[in-house]
């Protein structure tokens, strides 16, 4: 049986202005994940995603490539399981730039 995993993913490179947030939302929702994705002022994209471990791992790997037009230079993942979790939400929300 699959466990639950919650992660924060930060992606650097050419990831703004290429549809990366909408692509991430689609990829994550297709695998049943919930969470948020947004651009950051430093030019990176931040995704906070939760769901079954295997689905989270698949999305992390997909994020290493990104959508057509993106050029991922680096990706960092931090597990958030030890942190208090907000009430469960459905789907992935695109948030304003932070």
pLDDT in tens, 69-83: 999 999 999 999 755
Please answer whether residues 65 and 73 qualify as being in contact, where contact means their C-beta atoms are separated by less than 8 angstroms.
Answer: no
Residue where the block lists tokens 């907000």: 86
- Asked if residue 79 belongs to a domain, the reply is yes
- Asked if residue 9 belongs to a domain, the reply is yes
- The residues near 12 (Cβ < 8 Å, ≥ 6 apart) are 43, 44, 72, 73, 74, 75
Check residue 90 and give its pLDDT.
81
- Asked if residue 63 belongs to a domain, the reply is yes
Q: Is the pLDDT of residue 36 over 60?
A: yes
Q: Is the pLDDT of residue 98 over 80?
A: yes
Range of the domain at 25: 4-83
Indicate which residues carry an active-site annotation. Answer: 21, 39
């Amino acid at each position: 049986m699959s466990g639950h995993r919650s992660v924060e993913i930060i992606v650097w490179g050419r990831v703004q202005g290429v549809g990366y947030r909408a692509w991430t939302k689609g990829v994550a929702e297709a695998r049943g994940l919930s969470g948020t994705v947004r651009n950051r002022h430093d030019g990176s994209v931040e995704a906070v995603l939760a769901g079954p471990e295997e689905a989270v791992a698949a999305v992390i790997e997909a994020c290493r490539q990104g959508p057509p037009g993106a050029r991922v230079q680096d990706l960092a993942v931090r597990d958030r399981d030890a942190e208090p979790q907000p009430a469960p939400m459905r789907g992935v929300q695109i948030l304003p730039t932070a």
